[in-house]
Structure 1
Amino acid sequence: MKKIWRQRLLSALLSIFMALAMTGVSVSVRTQAAENNSTVPSGTVKVHFLDVGQGLSILVQSDGKNLIYDGGDRKTSRFVVAYLKEQGVTKIDYLISSHYDADHMAGLIGCLKSFKVKNVISSNYVHTSKLYRSFVKAVKEDGLKMKHPPVGKSYRLGSASFQILAPETIEAKGSNNNSVAIKLTNKENSFIFTGDAEHESEKAMCNSGIDLNCDVLVPGHHGSATATSWDFLQKTVPEYAVISCGKDNKYGHPDKDTMDKLQSMEIQVYRTDKQGTVTVTSDGKNLNWSAAPCNDYTPGDESDKGTVTEQTVTKQTTQKVTEDQVWVSATGSKYHKTNHCGNMNPDTAKKETKEEAEAQGLKPCGKCY
């Protein structure tokens, strides 16, 4: 009788132990999922091509890891930060600034101010703009250093990985060919992002010995004629091209020459100026897009080009001597004309340019302006 009672007691204790163990496992899984705070299923990679107008910003998510490649212009900085938060992003594992043109870099300052960033990858050259100095300052304030990895260097990102494709060398004049280009791979699926890399950089990538074959290519320089050479297309042979450019932009992007090449190779096209933000999910074999390709091969409005070039705009911006100065509080979401507006503490308020403040996603104070 005692033997039977003992067996029943042991069986009951074992059941309780197993129930507790199972409860512990489920709690552990829920906790990890909450920490990741990601809406992307495990083992998959989701790539977001954000509609930032005439600029570029790409978010990559995989197994709770996040990568942001460029952040668009300062006008869309708040949108980029808000979009990342909507996707459950609380930290950024890799923040990549392809190069230091405002339409690629400005929004990254807002990301540095809004999220915990673990690594910053950028091109190894110095820009003359105040926006660049604001970017460097934001990186340092986070206790980070700007890394300039060599071509061929690889990194893990959840179930995916990415490899540095460019730049092989740094040009003294201009910045487009100094763009950091990467190849993102998730098993059988791959993507290539090249920033504003032009023909010279594409040639170096073709000669690097790295496999450039990919499923998705983001044509360099917003579809400009200075990028997406025949040689580069024949090396990458993408099934899809995603062009990030602004609607009715004054540069005429994307260029007719680029669109003719894509059409002749029967490459399916997505365009942020026509479709807005586009996303694609990779399970390592198949790609699941948020929308069908628009396959609109018409070039940008050539009549908007005028005589203005991007180099002219950049030169005018970087050589501007006087800037509007504003005051920014230690906490808050607005910038001010004075350091004593409302409840501001003048002792902790900082003076910045309006451009720097807006790049952080700050809006003008309703009382001051």
Structure 2
Amino acid sequence: MKKIWRQRLLSALLSIFMVLAMTGVSVSVRTQAAENNSTVPSGTVKVHFLDVGQGLSILVQSDGKNLIYDGGDRKTSRFVVAYLKEQGVTKIDYLISSHYDADHMAGLIGCLKSFKVKNVISSNYVHTSKLYRSFVKAVKEDGLKMKHPPVGKSYRLGSASFQILAPETIEAEGSNNNSVAIKLTNKENSFIFTGDAEHESEKAMCNSGIDLNCDVLVPGHHGSATATSWDFLQKTVPEYAVISCGKDNKYGHPDKDTMDKLQSMEIQVYRTDKQGTVTVTSDGKNLNWSAAPCNDYTPGDESDKGTVTEQTVTKQTTQKVTEDQVWVSATGLKYHKTNHCGNMNPDTAKKETKEEAEAQGLKPCGKCY
């Protein structure tokens, strides 16, 4: 009798399970799991400071939501895309271009080509470079529009949120102070990213009335002396600073003036030029780092600065960018001299500049180059 009763119970449970499956309950569970394809535990926020050499790229992940703040130079575009894929990223909820210098923006073009992007936030000015035009083109091809939110605007990102801190105004000349700066908050933990914002923009942030206190600060302009003013440090009072700069870079970043300030305030330092990619996980109260701070307050090599300013170097580099046209297929990883190269499908080929192709992380074809 008991055996018959157990059989009837199992039959009833099986019927209930089949009804639930038919109503789509199991489908919604699978969809949620696929959407949350992140390696980050629920309720936490993970921030990745990518080693992109002399540039900046930061990935933020929270409850299946992803934000990319800058993408580094075109030389590291392929690395950025590969790194995001390794972290389980299949879509980008917010792609933020702080400003349009190549060492911040180029890698974002590769992200636009490689991931489903939902929102693009950028600074409200027009750059004259061909790379900027490539960025605008990639945004339009995804059916997106660049958003230029005002200071104070806030957005949700999983269990976290971020707020726009800058720019308050747009400068007619120069682009560093036009950088979009944000404050990322996860309960009691907060981070501030300022792109290449310099003293003028920092002053505006200090006068904005927004609470700038944070746990982690990314010093502006790769630790240059033109950023990280005393006033800004006294408003932010970070426990940690993460400096993104290239090893033995020609600009002498980070600057001695900046490093002396950080050391005098006993701010613990992480550096991508010394430690490579660094990550930190926030549970809303505590920070768990992938490594101990290096606390290396040694400035960059001053002798590498020479007499050429960074703005001049950027201008000269822009002028030297080749206008060569190359062929790229929809699924290929190489660019080609001709659309009839045997290593590509001519039916899906389209013309781009070599600069655009390299910004996506593509390499020259070994057969036709």
Q: Same fold (TM over 0.5)?
A: yes
Alignment correspondent of 1:331: 331
Contact 1:190 1:215 in 2 (8 A): yes
Query: Are residue 69 (structure 1) and residue 69 (structure 2) matched?
Result: yes
Shift of 1:257: 0.1
Distance 1:283 1:186 in 2: 8
Shift of 1:217: 0.1
1:327 partner SS: strand
Distance 1:242 1:11 in 2: 60
Alignment correspondent of 2:17: 17
Q: Alpha carbons of 1:12 and 1:185: their partners in 2 closer, same or farther (altered >3 Å)? A: same
1:319 partner SS: helix
Shift of 1:83: 0.1
1:198-251 Cα deviation digits (max 9, x unpaired): 000000000000000000000000000000000000000000000000000000
Contact 2:322 2:355 in 1 (8 A): no
Shift of 1:280: 0.1
Q: Alpha carbons of 1:19 and 1:327: their partners in 2 closer, same or farther (altered >3 Å)? A: closer
Shift of 1:22: 14
Distance 2:287 2:332 in 1: 41
Mean Cα deviation higher: 323-332 or 138-147: 323-332
Shift of 1:325: 2.7
Contact 2:197 2:221 in 1 (8 A): yes
Shift of 1:261: 0.1
Contact 1:216 1:241 in 2 (8 A): yes
1:64-122 Cα deviation digits (max 9, x unpaired): 00000000000000000000000000000000000000000000000000000000000
How many matched pairs? 369
Alignment correspondent of 2:308: 308
Shift of 1:330: 3.2
2:190 partner SS: strand
Mean Cα deviation higher: 348-357 or 194-203: 348-357
Q: Alpha carbons of 1:10 and 1:141: their partners in 2 closer, same or farther (altered >3 Å)? A: closer
1:306-339 Cα deviation digits (max 9, x unpaired): 1222101221133447523322223311011222
Q: Alpha carbons of 1:20 and 1:226: their partners in 2 closer, same or farther (altered >3 Å)? A: same
TM-score of the pair, normalised by structure 1: 0.93
Distance 1:347 1:8 in 2: 61
Distance 1:125 1:326 in 2: 29
Mean Cα deviation higher: 147-156 or 304-313: 304-313
Distance 1:5 1:340 in 2: 72
Shift of 1:347: 6.0
Mean Cα deviation higher: 115-124 or 350-359: 350-359
1:247-291 Cα deviation digits (max 9, x unpaired): 000000000000000000000000000000000000000000000
Contact 2:73 2:102 in 1 (8 A): yes
Distance 1:333 1:307 in 2: 39
Distance 1:282 1:173 in 2: 38
Contact 1:161 1:184 in 2 (8 A): yes
Contact 2:56 2:104 in 1 (8 A): yes
Once the two structures are superposed, the pairs formed by residues 339-354 of structure 1 within 5 Å of their partners are 339-346=339-346, 348-354=348-354
Q: Alpha carbons of 1:14 and 1:262: their partners in 2 closer, same or farther (altered >3 Å)? A: same
Contact 2:321 2:355 in 1 (8 A): no
Contact 2:181 2:192 in 1 (8 A): yes
Q: Alpha carbons of 1:294 and 1:3: their partners in 2 closer, same or farther (altered >3 Å)? A: closer
Q: Structure 1: any 5+ residue segments left out of the alignment? A: none
1:259 partner SS: helix
Mean Cα deviation higher: 6-15 or 353-362: 6-15
TM-score of the pair, normalised by structure 2: 0.93
Shift of 1:26: 7.6
1:191 partner SS: strand
Q: Alpha carbons of 1:351 and 1:42: their partners in 2 closer, same or farther (altered >3 Å)? A: same
2:48 partner SS: strand
1:121 partner SS: strand
Shift of 1:13: 5.7
Shift of 1:151: 0.2
Contact 2:53 2:244 in 1 (8 A): yes
Contact 1:131 1:356 in 2 (8 A): yes
Distance 1:16 1:176 in 2: 61
